[in-house]
């Protein structure tokens, strides 16, 4: 934390100690980068996919200081297409369809 807060071009906008508060603080401050500490950063926190789905512009840095390891997560927006059935039902189905959010799928 000291290394990051000492940087003139980086502003620390919040800190949580309880994982249950993570989603709320991200919604409030909308950080560019979320830094989390984990025992095993390669085992992605379940909230990563959810948070990146809601905030695809955010990046997540998971650090395991005791192991001197870290993993960087980010979302890639994927534009998809689907041929539309040329009918009233086809148009209505397209309007009602709920596409999967970016980051909703787990590795």
- Residue 107 clears pLDDT 50, i.e. is over it: no
- CA–CA gap between residue 102 and residue 39 (Å, rounded): 26
Q: Token pair of 41, please?
A: 């950063």
pLDDT tens for each residue of 46-61: 788 889 989 989 999 9
- DSSP sequence for 3-35: HHHT-TT-------SSGGGHHHHHHHH--SEEE
Distance CA 77, CA 37 (A): 26
**Mean pLDDT computed over every residue of the chain:** 82
User: Who wins on pLDDT, 103 or 68?
Assistant: 68
Confidence of residue 106 (pLDDT cuts 50, 70, 90): very low
Top pLDDT among 36 and 39 is at 36
């Amino acid at each position: 934390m000291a290394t990051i807060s000492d940087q003139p071009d980086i502003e620390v906008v919040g800190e949580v100690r309880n994982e249950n508060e993570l989603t709320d603080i991200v919604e409030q401050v909308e950080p560019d980068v979320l830094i989390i500490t984990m025992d095993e950063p390669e085992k992605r926190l379940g909230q990563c996919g959810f948070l990146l789905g809601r905030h695809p512009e955010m990046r997540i840095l998971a650090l395991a200081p005791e192991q001197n390891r870290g993993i960087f997560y980010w979302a890639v927006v994927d534009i998809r297409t689907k041929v539309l059935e040329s009918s009233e039902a086809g148009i209505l189905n397209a309007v009602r369809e709920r596409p999967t959010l970016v980051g909703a799928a787990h590795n």
